[in-house]
Amino acid sequence: MHPHNPYAAPDSELDVLPQHCSRDGKFALLPSGCDLPARCIKCNAPVAIAPKKTTLYWHTPWLYLLILLNILIYIIVGLIARRTHAVTPYLCDQHRLRRRRRMQLCFGASLACIALTFVGDHFQSGAVFGLSIFGALIFFIVGLFVSRRLYANKITKEYTRIGGCGEAFLASLRQQ
Where does this chain bind Zn ion (CB under 5 A)? 40, 42-43, 45, 92, 95
- 122 or 148: CB nearest Zn ion: 148
Q: How far is the CB of 111 from Zn ion (least distance, A)?
A: 28
- 121 or 167: CB nearest Zn ion: 167
Work out whether strand 22-24 and strand 27-31 pair parallel, antiparallel, or are unpaired: antiparallel
Q: How far is the CB of 38 from Zn ion (least distance, A)?
A: 12
- 40 or 136: CB nearest Zn ion: 40
- 30 or 40: CB nearest Zn ion: 40
Cα 66 to Cα 70, 73, 111, 114: the distances in Å are 6, 7, 34, 34
- 47 or 56: CB nearest Zn ion: 47
Q: How far is the CB of 161 from Zn ion (least distance, A)?
A: 21
Q: How far is the CB of 44 from Zn ion (least distance, A)?
A: 7
Q: 46: closest CA among 84, 69, 12, 86?
A: 12
Q: How far is the CB of 26 from Zn ion (least distance, A)?
A: 17
Q: 53: closest CA among 84, 88, 83, 85?
A: 88
Cα 99 to Cα 7, 91, 148: the distances in Å are 23, 9, 9
The DSSP-derived string for 98-123 is: HHHHHHHHHHHHHHHHHHHHHHHHHT
